[in-house]
Amino acid sequence: MTNETDPWDALRRFTAARIALGRAGSSLPTAPLLAFELAHAQARDAVHQPLDTAALAEAIRAAGFDTLDVRSAAPDRDHYLRRPDLGRTLDEASGARLADHAAAMNDAPELVFVAADGLSAFAAQRHAAPLLRSVRAKLEAWNVGPVVIATQARVALGDPIGERLRAKIVVVMIGERPGLSSPDSLGLYVTYAPRAGRSDAERNCISNVRPEGLDYDAAAFRLMWLLNEARRLKLTGVGLKDHSGALPPGTDGRMLEA
């Protein structure tokens, strides 16, 4: 009996996709079947796992940022999943807390980060603080407000948060819908002049932030490029095209001179 090299083995190294799994009769072999069931369970857990806000706040403060806690109008996970509209609205107590904080600030912040559970608390728990550590050194020229930790949150919850804090730009770091190979993917949504009623066409998105996808340093570079351009052009969304990938290393997110 001869041992033959499977030509698919070399290709599997370049993708997390499930390719060339083989078969046992009319089904999958046991190992890939169990791996699929594990990935499916991890994706479901990512949706339902609550965010440990205390641990996340501690990690973010260790990265050098102040924090505030808020929640959406969705009273629990069941309502959050069935009523996306509630996840886009602050509950009354959170709105009042943000208004009180804004009144106590001497200057309105240029930039506010929101760390939100979204559809994967795993993503915010694992990646929000490391990303903030990567981007912190690039923010010397920015007036940055507290990082707002939001639960039962949709992307658009960043709009009333930024509006209450009178921020010029809000960055929502939120857990993306989990997939069968990425239950902990973090998305970054950048909105200039946030206010309730903004549409998704008025945001820029950086997706798949995690060590196995877009790593923290690369995400921080791309984010700073968008932030600097948003501040210069006074807009985000379809009017702001992300050309950061065309810039050479060492530009630190600044627009090259023409």
**176 labelled binding-site residue:** yes
The sheet that has 67-71: what strands, in order across it? 67-71, 147-151, 111-116, 169-175, 186-192, 203-209
How far is the CA of 110 from the CAs of 103, 193, 195, in angstroms? 15, 10, 14
d(CA 103, CA 158): 19
Answer yes or no: are the C-beta atoms of 44 and 177 closer than 8 Å: no
In terms of Cα–Cα distance, which of 154, 145, 230 is closest to 187?
Answer: 154
CB 126 within 8 A of CB 158: no
Q: Which residue type, as a one-letter code, is found at position 235?
A: L
Q: 211: which DSSP letter? A: T
Vertex 66: Cα angle to 198 and 166 (nearest 5): 30
Binding residues: 155, 176, 205
Binding residues for adenosylcob(III)alamin: 155, 176, 205
